[in-house]
Amino acid sequence: MEVEFGHLQTDKAFLSLSNVAPDTYESISLTFGNATMTIVNHSGAAMGSCANNSVCELTPNFNPSMATLSSAPFPITISQNSVVGIRLDFNVNSSVQSDLSIKPVVTIKHLTQRQDDEDEQEMENVDEIDGQVTVVGSNQFTLMSEKSGQLFVINVDGNTAFEDFDRTGCTANPEDFSCVKMGQILDVDLSENGMGKMLAKRVEFEEDANREAIKGTITSVDSSTQFHMVVFNEEPALGGVSEGSQVAVTIQPTAMFQIGREEMGESGGFSIPGLSFASGADLLVGQDVQIRPGMVSSSGGVTTVATDLVRLWVRWGASA
């Protein structure tokens, strides 16, 4: 299972859903491997092989590659009809060592137990799963996440909020499930009940079918028409661009600048005093943005992506 930790903030991800035999368990063991890490080094000195004022994509080693947790809430007793959820916290700051190797620091943040007939009880919620719609059914849709390789069958109900679908031409008012179409790229906040049932709390439109959406964190602003960013998500995969890599983004003259509906707040206005997001002059290092890739080229080891859309995603943080 691939998990991405980034943006200097807390992220959540589903690791697995498994059936285990009823018993009393004394511990849980986690195995790590195949890490990639992108760093922006402004420390004033080289960090290993990464020069100062450079963006470097690394493949750090895990030492050790396994972590075993046996403190409270263990031992955990699982009965025939119980559903158990374990929330793990992987502390990136403590895990990354001075030589840029990784010594996993993992703790158990929360244990949830219930009976399987209490299936309406939420076990966990996850912010911002990006993916492409592969199936649209009756009050549910299937989302394919390029990042994790997982398929999520997601239900909707009368409390699910639908946002930014007016950009698709959907005329429903208020926006509703009828706006969701095959091939669309969506951003979803959802909850999970511990038995594989997922319910969408918020569904936000990102891009139309037959187009791509790339998200990244800005590492430098070169001019009002060009910036560099480190890619942390692409839906679907785009040739010449990979997650964790740095790309130069060229803003086309007719490019649109937008702010995600969730970021604008309930009033529909951008809620950071003194800041706007209307042109390349409003770009800042550290912002998370979505672009719609056009032509992709590579020269001298630098990948350049042209875009006619720059969309701001403000991450206010999440619970650990």
pLDDT at 9 over 60: no
Per-residue pLDDT reduced to its tens digit, 62-87: 999 999 999 999 999 999 888 888 88
Q: Distances from the Cα of 64 to the Cαs of 60, 136, 164, 165, in angstroms?
A: 12, 43, 45, 46
- What pLDDT, on a 0 to 100 scale, did the predictor assign at position 170? 96
Q: Which CATH class is domain 213-313?
A: mainly beta
| Contact call for residues 185 and 131 (beta carbons, < 8 A) | yes
Q: What is the pTM of this model?
A: 0.79
Whether 68 and 31 have beta carbons less than 8 Å apart is answered as no
**From-to residues of CATH 2.40.50.320 in the chain:** 124-207, 213-313
User: Smallest Cα–Cα separation from 199: which of 164, 161, 149, 233?
Assistant: 161
CA distance 151 to 200: 14
Average predicted confidence (pLDDT) for the chain: 87
Q: Indicate the SS3 state at residue 186.
A: strand
* Stretch 288-299: mean pLDDT: 96
Q: Which whole number is the average pLDDT over 259-275?
A: 57
pLDDT score of 194: 61
Give CATH for domain 124-207: 2.40.50.320
Angstrom distance (rounded) from CA 72 to CA 111: 10
**CB 164 within 8 Å of CB 204:** yes
Query: Hey, is 41 helix, strand or coil?
Result: strand
Which secondary structure element, helix H or strand E, spans residue 94, and what is its range? helix 92-95
Per-residue DSSP letters for 195-233? SS-EEEEEEEEEE-TT--EEEEEEEEEEETTEEEEEEEE
pLDDT classification of 280: cutoffs 50, 70, 90: very high
